[in-house]
C-alpha cells in the first residue's frame, strides 16, 4: 500500500487546513490515495489511548503524516507500527512542542502554561490566538488566520484541553529514532510556534533522514504553498519507493 498516505491534522483547527495539500498531491500523482483523518475526540491526554484509537481506525501498511500535533502523533504511531508503516511525513511538527532541558528548540514552558490557562477560561479566544500564531510570518497572516478559523470544527472545551495537555507532554525523539522507515520532516523558517532551530536540532538527532526548512514560511506553510509542499512530498515518496 505504498500508494496510500494518511494525513492527521493539528490541534483545534480540524481537517480543512490539509485539504489544499491533499488536492495538490492527488493532482501530481493520480495513483496516490491521500486521506485526511480527524484526530480522535478524546477527553483524555493519555498518549496510549490516542495511539490505540488511531491504530484501530487508520489503514495498515500506509504512509503516515501530519501537521503539527498530527505529525507528532503520526511519528509515535509509525514507531508503534514499525514495518507496518511505509514511511513518515511531518509538517511543522516539533519533536517536543514545549522546550525542556534536553530540547531547547520549543515553546517556553511558561508561555505554554499561559496558553493552557487561557483555554480553560475561554477556548474560543485561545483558538483565535492560536490561529494568529499559526500564520505569523505569512505574507497575509490575518487573511490566513481567518481561513483557518472558518474551517475549525466545534470541538468541546474538554476535547480541546485534552489535546493541549497531550501536546504539552509529547516528546517524539525516541519514536523517531526507533522508526526505521523513510522520514521527511519539513519546517517553516518564520514559524511562530515551532522555532526554525528545531530543524537543525532534529538533523543532529537523525542525520540520515530528510529534513527541509522552508525559509519564508509560517507554521501554516501547507496552506501558504500547498503545491510547493506537495511537490516536496511527492519527490520524497517517489525517491523512497525506488529504494
Q: What is the mean pLDDT of residues 162-184?
A: 96
Is the confidence at residue 242, as pLDDT, over 70?
no
Is the confidence at residue 148, as pLDDT, over 70?
yes
Is the confidence at residue 14, as pLDDT, over 90?
yes
Is the confidence at residue 243, as pLDDT, over 60?
no
Is the confidence at residue 31, as pLDDT, over 70?
yes
Q: 68 an active-site residue?
A: yes
Per-residue pLDDT tens digits for 231-240: 999 999 988 8
Q: 191 an active-site residue?
A: yes
- Separation CA 68–CA 77 (nearest Å): 14
Mean pLDDT of the chain: 94
Is the confidence at residue 160, as pLDDT, over 50?
yes
> Beta strands of 44-189 (E only): which ranges?
62-67, 85-91, 183-188
- pTM for the predicted model, two decimal places: 0.96
Is the confidence at residue 1, as pLDDT, over 50?
no
Q: What is the mean pLDDT of residues 68-94?
A: 97
Is the confidence at residue 165, as pLDDT, over 50?
yes
Instruction: Write the burial class of residue 96 (CB in 10 Å: 0-12 exposed, 13-18 middle, 19+ buried).
Output: buried
Q: Which of 105, 131, 145, 191 is catalytic?
A: 191
Q: 185 an active-site residue?
A: no
Q: What is the mean pLDDT of residues 158-168?
A: 94
Q: Are strands 85-91 and 62-67 parallel, antiparallel or unpaired?
A: parallel
Regarding the domain with residue range 4-241, which homologous superfamily does it belong to in the CATH classification?
Alpha/Beta hydrolase fold, catalytic domain (3.40.50.1820)
Alpha-carbon dihedral sign for residues 214, 99, 58, 148? negative
Sheet holding 183-188, edge to edge: 33-36, 4-8, 62-67, 85-91, 183-188, 210-214
Three-state DSSP state, 234 = helix
Q: Which of 68, 93, 145, 218 is catalytic?
A: 68
How many helices (DSSP H) and strands (DSSP E) are in the chain? 11, 6
Q: Which of 93, 185, 218, 219 is catalytic?
A: 219
Per-residue pLDDT tens digits for 41-50: 999 999 999 9
So what's the pLDDT on residue 240?
A: 85
Is the confidence at residue 154, as pLDDT, over 90?
no
Amino acid at each position: 500500500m505504498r500508494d496510500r498516505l494518511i494525513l492527521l491534522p493539528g490541534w483545534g483547527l480540524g481537517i480543512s487546513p490539509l485539504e489544499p495539500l491533499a488536492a495538490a498531491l492527488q493532482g501530481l500523482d493520480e495513483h496516490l490515495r491521500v486521506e485526511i483523518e480527524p484526530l480522535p475526540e478524546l477527553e483524555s491526554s493519555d498518549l496510549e489511548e490516542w495511539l490505540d484509537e488511531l491504530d484501530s481506525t487508520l489503514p495498515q501498511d500506509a504512509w503516515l503524516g501530519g501537521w503539527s500535533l498530527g505529525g507528532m502523533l503520526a511519528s509515535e504511531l509509525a514507531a508503534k507500527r514499525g514495518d507496518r508503516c511505509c514511511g513518515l511525513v511531518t509538517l511543522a511538527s516539533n519533536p517536543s512542542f514545549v522546550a525542556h532541558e534536553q530540547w531547547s528548540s520549543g515553546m517556553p514552558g511558561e508561555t505554554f502554561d499561559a496558553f493552557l490557562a487561557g483555554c480553560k477560561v475561554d477556548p474560543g479566544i485561545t483558538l483565535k490566538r492560536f490561529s494568529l500564531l499559526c500564520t505569523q510570518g505569512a505574507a497575509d497572516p490575518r487573511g490566513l488566520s481567518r481561513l483557518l478559523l472558518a474551517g475549525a470544527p466545534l470541538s468541546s472545551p474538554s476535547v480541546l484541553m485534552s489535546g493541549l495537555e497531550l501536546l504539552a507532554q509529547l516528546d517524539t525523539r525516541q519514536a523517531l529514532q526507533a522508526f526505521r522507515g523513510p522520514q521527511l520532516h519539513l519546517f517553516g523558517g518564520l514559524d511562530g510556534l515551532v522555532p526554525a532551530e528545531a530543524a537543525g536540532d532534529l538533523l543532529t538527532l537523525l542525520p540520515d533522514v530528510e529534513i527541509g526548512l522552508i525559509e519564508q514560511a509560517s507554521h501554516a506553510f501547507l496552506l501558504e504553498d500547498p503545491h510547493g509542499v506537495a511537490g516536496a512530498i511527492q519527490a520524497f515518496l517517489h525517491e523512497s519507493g525506488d529504494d
